Every structure is written in C-alpha cells, then in structure tokens.
Amino acid sequence: MMKLFYTNTSPYSRKVRITLLEKGLDGEVEYILCNPFEDAVELKSLNPLGKIPTLVLDDGRVVYDSPVICEYLDTLNANGELVPSSNDARLLVNTWQALADGIIDASYNIVMEGRRDESERSQNCIERWKGSIVDSLKQIEQQIATLPGEITMAEISLAAALGYLDFRLSYLEWRNGQSNTAAWYGEFSKRPSMVETQPPA
C-alpha cells in the first residue's frame, strides 16, 4: 500500500488528497498524519526536505512535491486525465497549476511570517507576497474561461489555493471584485473530493 504523509491543514497535501479521491485511488493509500514541524523523524528520513505531502510507493520509492505526486497518481489508471498528454493542453494545465501553487506559496509564506517574533517579521516581504496574490487573482478573474473545463490539475490546484485563502487569509476577502472566480469556486467546492478534504473549522 502507498503511504501519504500529510496534514489536514496543508493546501499542498489537499491537492494530493483531492487527486486521490478524483482518481478513485483513495483506498490504495495509507494516510499518515505528520506535522513537519514536530518530531518528523520518519518524514525526514524519507524526504530530506522534511516537507509534506510526501508519498511512499509500494516498492519504497519516495515521491515529493505535489505536482510530481499528482502527475504520478494520474498515470495509475484511466479515471480521467488530470495532466493531459497532448502538448498544448499539458502546458496550459501545468501553467495554471504553477500560478495556483504560487498563490499557495505566497499565502503560506505570509502565514509563516506571521508566526515569527514581531521583531523578526518583515512587513516588506508580507506586502510583496500579498501583491503577488492580488495580481494573480486579477489575472485568474480575466482568464477563468480558459480553464480546461473538465477536471484537471489546473482546477484542483486553483481550488486548493482559493480554499487556503478562505482558511488562513480570509481577511483578504479574495472574492471582492472576483465574481467569476467566486462563482467557479462555489460550484467546484460542491464536489465530494472538496467537501471531504475541507480543512478543520
């Protein structure tokens, strides 16, 4: 059985969990709750970066970075094609994924910066990260119609990013001026894979 090291608050882990559910692979994975900041000895021994999500395959191979894990999972069966095989479609999906993951990176950095002592905190960095989130959201609002439409890693990554904004940075009120994106997210959030992986209240 594959093993997934994760937490239920991690947006990158959520991407993988949504992927497993959408591919119907949920039953083939043992989920191992693992806070990378606490006593993560086993995780560190598997992934020197000490990050979640980390997936261990049946044969012991260790896979990490959520796009790499999801791309691998997509090859395991033919239930949907989350990373398209044709070049143009794959480029579009991967670029959407990079944009969504970039929003998660900036958001996660803001959260981590907020946990530092005030004397060590960089307001300058926080403003820069906020700026990249706001500008990315503006672009998404304009380009939402170019989403592949069916479910791919583009939609899964975007949903994980917007869900994380709701969870940790709700004060940004990302829906303001973003009615197309908000409508898209409202619909996508109804999928059982989204409901089941909702972060704790």
Ligand X SMILES: N[C@@H](CCC(=O)N[C@@H](CS)C(=O)NCC(=O)O)C(=O)O
> Of 37 and 88, which has the nearer Cβ to ligand X?
37
Which CB contacts under 8 angstroms, 24+ apart, belong to 183-191?
A: 184/144, 184/147, 185/158, 185/159, 188/155, 188/159, 189/159, 189/163, 191/22, 191/151
> Of 22 and 101, which has the nearer Cβ to ligand X?
101
Element (H, E) at 56: strand 54-56
C-alpha 192/C-alpha 88 separation (Å) is: 29
> Of 21 and 40, which has the nearer Cβ to ligand X?
40
Nearest distance from residue 58's CB to ligand X, in Å?
Answer: 21
Nearest distance from residue 180's CB to ligand X, in Å?
Answer: 26
> Of 52 and 178, which has the nearer Cβ to ligand X?
52
Nearest distance from residue 142's CB to ligand X, in Å?
Answer: 25
**Interaction site with ligand X (CB under 6 A):** 10, 12, 36, 50-53, 65-66, 101, 108
Nearest distance from residue 133's CB to ligand X, in Å?
Answer: 16
C-alpha 72/C-alpha 66 separation (Å) is: 10
Nearest distance from residue 184's CB to ligand X, in Å?
Answer: 22
What phi, psi does 147 have (nearest 5°)?
-60, 145
Nearest by Cα to 44 from 56, 33, 32, 36 = 36
> Of 9 and 182, which has the nearer Cβ to ligand X?
9
C-alpha 187/C-alpha 164 separation (Å) is: 16
> Of 31 and 108, which has the nearer Cβ to ligand X?
108
Nearest distance from residue 125's CB to ligand X, in Å?
Answer: 16
Pairing of strands 2-6, 29-33: parallel
